[in-house]
Structure 1
Amino acid sequence: MAHPVTATIRAYQMGFGDCFLLSFAYDDASTRHILIDFGSAGIPDKCNFSLDDVAADIKKQCGGALDIVVATHRHKDHINGFATSADGKGPGDVIRSLTPKRVIQPWTEAPDAPEGWTGPDETKSAKAFADHQSSLASMQALAQAVVDRLDRKDGFDPPWPLADRLRFLGEDNVKNLSAVKNLQDMAGDPKNNIYVYHGCQLDLSDILPNVKVHVLGPPTLKQSASIKTFAKSSADYWFKAQRLAKLAASEGVSKSKTSRLFPGLQKADTFRKTRLPTEMRWVADRVDIAEQDQMLGIVTALDSAMNNTSVILLFEVGKKKLLFPGDAQLENWSYALQSDMAALLNDVDLYKVGHHGSLNATPKSVWQRFRKRGKAGTPQRLTTVMSTMAGKHGGRNGAPTEVPRIPLVNELKADSTLFNTQDLQPTELCHTVIVDLR
């Protein structure tokens, strides 16, 4: 049986998005190709290429045939490249034409799950899966409502300085229906669609001989309900100690402010400043501010909840391990870190940096497990690959939440060989990283 000799990772310049073509070259001269995510919240203005150009390059690099497509979760910046078009020439049409043999997605995407399902390991709960699916649909409906609110002609008056961030988060969580439908049937027979969860058996040996694929996340609701929540602060985040203490002290206050959804929305719609006497227009200002803050809090929560449905895959070939965690945040990671599978992380050789380098998607407890971290010149030094674009997400009002998070980036540079898509030239489609598997 053939054995892989090299793994080539092409990290495409997607701006704030992910697109990785993982290619295993075998000693019998064959190559197997895996596309992990394909989406963008906006290719950098400096670049003169599009999602169509990326799709064309993927087709070229894999010789017109894909073996596996992985869509780690439903966010726009991970799947909108799978969208099709009426003329049949969209980027998703190109990927579909590559006839992947398998499509892998998180268990939350299963389209025909039985009533009461909390994941493929079954449960006694009669409503858990239906409630979770309903929650995801509601999340996307709320995100659409936020985008529609921003699109209204009256908008916010005066213009809100964080409207761009609100739009970015809202649009990222809107249901990408064309991409979702394309992923559901691009592999032909429904049995070729695999919906995975922590610890499930994912046997791809007929497609990837001598490659073990471990699924570290997401957990099912039976395994861990924490994926429905997110922590605003944690010792695992890339905060400075004093900042973490302040956030922990204020967390209870923050929670109390978000107990209702859009509580000021009707007031903001009714009491527009143009309808009020001059001496009362300060009321409209304050209602607008309240509405904007509430909306931002809601879409931020939605964003984190969706990230925690991300698939976490670890490819093991001989003594080499390649880790791709999508946008998994701490709550998704936590179950894996407490399981027997945690030891798999100790000798990772290549790490795809989670969630574009955010403060909570590379938990310190994960990072510290990577024994191959080390200064330049360290034998078999850890390789890290990050797809990101600064200025799109986080950092509100001076908060230390910018993406990519600077202390994390500094650590990646100091203790690994980092390939960052931000460093690519405008004409470069991707970084090409080669890992010797022998």
Structure 2
Amino acid sequence: MSTKGGTKTNAARAKPPTKVQAPKSPTHLNLFAYQVGFGDCFLLQFVYGDGDSDKRHVLIDFGTTGAPEADSGTLMRRIAEDIRDKCQGARLDVVVATHRHADHISGFATKANGKGSGDIIRALKPRLVLQPWTEDLALATDASGPTSKGIKASAGSIRTVSSLAAMTSLAEQVTRLAIERPNTLPPGLADRLEFLGRDNTKNLSAVENLAQMGQVGKSAYAYFGVQDPLEDLLPGVNTHVLGPPTVEQCSAIKKQRATDNDQFWHFHARGVATTNSINGNGTAPFDTAFVKAKKGKLPREARWAARHITNARGNQLLGIVTMLDKAMNNTSLILLFEVGGKRLLFPGDAQLENWSYALEQPGVAELLADVDLYKVGHHGSLNATPKSLWKGFRKRGKPEKTDRMTSVLSTMAGKHGSEGKKTEVPRKTLVDELKHDTHFHSTHEVPTSTLYSHVRIDF
């Protein structure tokens, strides 16, 4: 009702509609474990509100070194397109690259024509790219130390990254040697060397794409105990970074486990020196040229020695690249998401040494005891699920257990390890326990025609 003098009507004085606030915590999680063969690719879709109107997306790793399809590039593009569809035209909130192994980052590679799987992910303009602190140094070859706030640069930090660079160079040489398949390497050993070599070769396109995405949005390089890097992006979710430790943090391990000093963070100097002998073997007593000169046959009295010398050389290389593989895994991020009373553990490929530091810290074992969802470490490798960690999970149990935990495994048999040495991946004894004590989901059991396995966790 209006009055003289232009007084506002009652309608005009009415309060504006109250703005609806977005829910403070997600109601549930949709976890999509993509079928990449030997590799990891997980899309975490945190759903806020009853109408699924608000979703936040976190992509943890995107790589393969043993795709179930002949054309891994086609598969990774299909997965990238599916991730884009699930984001429904919105930006991808977080990209996590747990560590530099190809089976975790190869999908981030781009193509000159702009149609690579990494191009599709970059078009989603991730708000944050999260990587382990070691990658902060690796991206700048002349860096003098970590640049992230709270990390103190030290000679140890610089040596660590220099070691990683040296290992990359060695991996490239081992890969070339294995591809050439010289007569001096048995076929099975050559296959093993090629797989490990490729996995540890720095994927320059993927690494550069991760860096560029971080420049468009933000980059964060994490280490044990760093403040929640996803705090502003995932309302109601508390993200704990449990690994890897920095060089300064792991000094306690060096004191307590002196035999692990070099193997934990540093590549043995003698291992790096061996790179000089990989390709420069022209003067070896039983090299290819010598055998050719003898019309393909060594003298009978030399054959036994030649075979054992050749095997020793091949096994030495295998030991070196295996050590390289282990060192890279120990730079892997370990993330624990805590939301709505549930705990979700994603440890990448973290192995025993990385875990040992975290499990020794006050309160960590108790924090991990009530894990509800466990992304099985390192594709089911036995030493990536320490027994102390496994036995500490209180929610393991028989199918009738009301709060029984869920486990999710991304793997492919026959690519890593040896059944004869009981190091096969996935390790049968571990898989048996996972099946017995958890709600078990494995990409290995998903038909190759199916793109992913879907797991829902209600909060």
List aligned pairs for 1:229-378, cutoff 5 A: 261=274, 265=278, 266-267=280-281, 270=284, 271-272=286-287, 273-275=291-293, 278-279=299-300, 280-340=302-362, 341-378=364-401
2:111 aligned with 1:85: yes
Is 156-165 or 409-418 further displaced after alignment?
156-165
Opposite residue 292 of structure 2, the aligned amino acid is: T
**Per the alignment, in what secondary structure is the counterpart of residue 322 of structure 1?**
strand
| CA contact 2:60–2:98 (8 Å) conserved in 1 | yes
State the 1:399 CA deviation.
0.1
Q: Distance in 1 between matches of 2:339 and 2:352?
A: 26
Contact persistence 2:173–2:275 (CA under 8 A): no
Task: Find the partner of 1:72 among 98, 113, 124.
Answer: 98
1:359: how far off? 1.1
Does residue 115 of structure 1 match 2:144?
Answer: yes
TM superposition score normalised by structure 1: 0.87
Contact 1:372 / 1:381 at 8 angstroms: preserved in 2?
A: yes
Distance 1:258 1:145 in 2: 13
C-alpha deviations, 1:373-410, integer Å up to 9, x for none?
001111011000000011000016x1010000011001
1:387 and 2:410 aligned = yes
The verdict on how the C-alpha distance between 1:34 and 1:117 changes in structure 2, with shifts beyond 3 A counting, is closer
Cα distance in 2 for residues equivalent to 1:163 and 1:227: 35
Larger Rg: 2
1:131 corresponds in structure 2 to 159
Q: CA deviation at 1:166?
A: 1.3
Contact map agreement 2:166 2:272 (CA 8 A) in 1:
no
Partner SS for 1:141:
helix
Q: Does 1:50 align with 2:50?
A: no
C-alpha distance in 1, partners of 2:429/2:283? 41
Instruction: List runs of 5+ in structure 2 lacking aligned partners.
Output: 1-21, 261-267
Query: What residue identity is the alignment partner of 1:370?
Result: F
Structure 2 residue matching 1:161: 3-state secondary structure: helix
1:182 lines up with 2:209 in the alignment: yes
Q: Indicate yes or no: 2:177 matched with 1:149.
A: yes
- Report how far residue 282 of structure 1 moved: 4.2
User: C-alpha distance in 1, partners of 2:171/2:239?
Assistant: 34
1:60 aligned residue (85, 100, 107): 85
Q: CA deviation at 1:156?
A: 2.7
- Distance in 1 (alpha carbons) for counterparts of 2:150 and 2:232: 24
- Quick one: which of 84, 104, 126 aligns to 2:130? 104
* 1:173 shift after superposition: 0.2
2:35 pairs with 1:35: no
In the alignment, residue 375 of structure 2 is paired with which amino acid? K
Does structure 2 conserve the Cα–Cα contact (< 8 Å) formed by 1:264 and 1:290? no
Residues 1:414 and 2:436 are matched in the alignment: yes
User: In the alignment, does 2:35 pair up with 1:13?
Assistant: yes
Q: Do 1:8 and 1:435's aligned partners in 2 also have CA atoms closer than 8 Å?
A: yes
User: Is 1:166 aligned to residue 208 of structure 2?
Assistant: no
Which letter does structure 1 place at the counterpart of 2:237?
A: V
Give, in angstroms, the shift of residue 117 of structure 1.
4.5
User: Secondary structure, in 3 states, of the residue corresponding to 2:60?
Assistant: strand
2:164 & 2:392 partners in 1: Cα distance? 32
Higher alpha-carbon deviation: 77-86 or 363-372:
363-372
Report if the CA contact (8 A) 2:65-2:102 is conserved.
yes
Query: CA separation in 2, counterparts of 1:226 and 1:84?
Result: 41
Following superposition, the deviation at residue 114 of structure 1 comes to: 5.3
1:304 is displaced (CA, Å) by: 0.4
Q: Tell me, in whole angstroms, the C-alpha distance in 2 between the residues paired with 1:38 and 1:436.
A: 25
Q: In structure 1, the residue corresponding to 2:215 is in which secondary structure?
A: coil
State whether residues 82 and 95 of structure 1, in contact with CA within 8 Å, keep that contact through their aligned partners in structure 2.
Answer: yes
| Inter-partner Cα distance in structure 1 for 2:253 and 2:204 | 23
Correspondence 1:22 to 2:44: yes
Summarize deviations over 1:45-68 as a string: whole Å, max 9, x none. Answer: 489961111111111112133100
The answer for the alignment partner of 1:239 in structure 2 is: none
Counterpart residue type for residue 36 of structure 2: M
Partners of 2:125 and 2:216 within 8 A in 1: no
Distance 1:202 1:338 in 2: 20
The question of whether the paired residues in 2 share the 8 Å contact of 1:107 and 1:120 is answered with no
Deviation at 1:204, TM superposition (A): 2.5
Distance change >3 Å, CA 182–CA 117, structure 1 → 2: closer
Q: Secondary structure at the match of 1:129?
A: helix
User: In 2, distance between residues paired with 1:46 and 1:134?
Assistant: 35
The residue identity in structure 1 corresponding to 2:112 is A
* Corresponding letter in the other structure for 2:65: A
| Structure 1: gaps spanning 5 or more residues | 235-254
Partner deviation per Cα, 1:92-135 (whole Å, 9 max, x = no partner): 0000001110000000000358525597544474x222211110
Q: Distance in 1 between matches of 2:319 and 2:185?
A: 20
- Structure 1 Cα separation of the partners of residues 283 and 172 of structure 2: 17
8 A Cα contact 1:199 1:216, kept in partner: yes
